[in-house]
Structure 1
Amino acid sequence: MNLAVNNLSLTLAAVLVLVSIVISYKEKLGFTKDILISVFRAIIQLVIVGYLLKYIFQVNNVFLTLAMTAIIIINASLNAKKRNGHLKKGFWISLIAIASSTIITIGVLILSGAIRFIPSQIVPISGMIASNSMIAIGLCYRSLDRLFHDQRQAVLEKLALGASIKLASITIVKESIRTGMAPTIDSAKTVGIVSLPGMMSGLIFAGVDPVHAIKYQIMVTFMLLSATSIGSVIATYLAYKEYYNERKQLIV
């Protein structure tokens, strides 16, 4: 099946962006500039990445594959840390969490025979895992920040009664982990009924047998559940300690 996507069709499809711009303008949302910038950035980034991936796939070099995966993880970590300005070690916490979720999940997939260690499989899957971990961790960070402010008095009272910082924070930690994992779990509940996910839709659109596309999507669902769970737990348990000083005093 040949996809009829050429430069002209893409240019005409760009008219769809006007829908967002018109809505932003008429409703005075203030997103017009952001929409234009995001579109241009997306085009530039995707073109660069497209040619870069084409080269990496052709070369099929282990070190280039690992380097590309590392770039994805580092970039995801930089973006995740922006979700909470109170975390001094936000980048390193995010890096540990995202790298762990990516390595563990991909490791299981390779050992199970679901994928092979080739750039055309490792790089895209690393991107999916890191992206979803980044979003989940960002939600955890925001939840931590909100809950520590909202429940500050309760935490102080627990500390005053002799509780450790872990015991004083455990309710906040668990709620933050739930917040980070919730979107992925909700998505898994409705996949195939409410939505046809990107990977499955893309394969079907490209002419792949829907049954085979479904198998790939099931694998992706398992993969993302694992990645967001690992990332959320590691990031939250490392991040909550940043709300205390060396004397175990709450600093928010």
Structure 2
Amino acid sequence: MNVSVDNLSLALVFGLVLVAISISQKEKLGLTKDIFMAVVRTVLQLIFVGYILKFIFQASNMFLSLTMVLIILYNASVQANKRNPNSKKSLLHPFLALLASTGLTLTILILSGAIQFIPSQVIPISGMLASNAMTAIGLSYRAMYKSFTDNRQQVLEKLSLGATVKLASQDILREAIKTGMQPTIDSAKTVGLVSLPGMMSGLIFAGVDPVHAIRYQIMVMFMLLSATSLASVIASYVAYQTYFTDKAQLEFE
């Protein structure tokens, strides 16, 4: 089955975006500019990345592939870091969390033979892992900031009674990690019943036996659960320390 998208198809589907813009204008949501910028960035970024990937796939050079993976992780780190309201945030923290979670999951997939160490498989899988881990980290950061803000007095009381920084922050840590993991867990609970994920649908469109496509999708859900859980845990355990001074005093803006 051949699936093609011509310019007319794109133009007609763009009409749906105009509907979203019209709704924003009518309801005075203030999202018109954001939607327009999102459309422009989507088109430009995908065209640019498409040509880059075409070059890398044809060159089949693993150095270029690993460079592309690092670029993906860096951009994901920048976006995750932007979602952290804490003024003492550091770009290095989400980058390390993404590197560890994505790197470990990729390594296991390659060693187990689930994917091959080739650009056409390593780069797309890295993008999927980094995207979901980025979202998890961002949610964890926001939940942590809100919890520290709402429970500031409780944390101070625990510290005054002699609790360590980790003990005083334990409930906040748990809530931040749970918040980061929850979307992926919810997605895993409803996959197949509510949504038919992109990878499985793409394989079926390409003519792959649905049974084989489902097997790949199961692998994808497992690796996403792994990556998001690791990313949430690592990012949260590193980030909570930035809310305290070297003298174990709670301090953040």
Taking structure 2 as the reference length, the TM-score comes to: 0.97
User: In 1, distance between residues paired with 2:235 and 2:225?
Assistant: 15
Q: Please name the residue that 2:126 is paired with.
A: 126
Q: CA RMSD in A?
A: 1.0
Aligned length: 252
Equivalent residues in 2 for 1:76-225 (5 A)? Answer: 76-225=76-225
Moved more, 18-27 or 151-160: 18-27
CA distance in 2, matches of 1:168, 1:73: 32
Residue matched to 2:65: 65
Contact 2:85 2:141 in 1 (8 A): no
Partner of 1:74: 74
Instruction: Report the Cα offset of residue 87 of structure 1.
Output: 4.9
**Per-residue deviation, 1:207:** 2.3
Equivalent AA in structure 1 for residue 160 of structure 2: A
User: Aligned partners of 1:130 and 1:87: how far apart in 2?
Assistant: 24
CA–CA distance in structure 2, aligned partners of residues 119 and 21 of structure 1:
38
Distance across 2 between alignment mates of 1:99 and 1:4: 35
Name the amino acid aligned to 2:88. Answer: K
What SS does structure 2 have at the residue aligned with 1:155? helix
Deviations 1:164-207 (A, max 9, x none): 00000000001100000000001000000011111111222222
Q: Find out whether 1:39 has 2:39 as its counterpart.
A: yes
Identity %: 63
Task: Give me the TM-score of the superposition, normalised by structure 1.
Answer: 0.98
The answer to whether the 8 A contact 1:87-1:242 is kept is no
The gaps in structure 2 that reach 5 residues or longer are none
Distance in 2 (CA, whole Å) between partners of 1:190 and 1:146 is 28
Report what 2:13 is aligned to.
13
The alpha-carbon deviation at position 90 of structure 1 amounts to 2.6
Q: Quote the Cα distance in structure 1 between the aligned partners of 2:199 and 2:27.
A: 33
SS at match of 1:247: coil
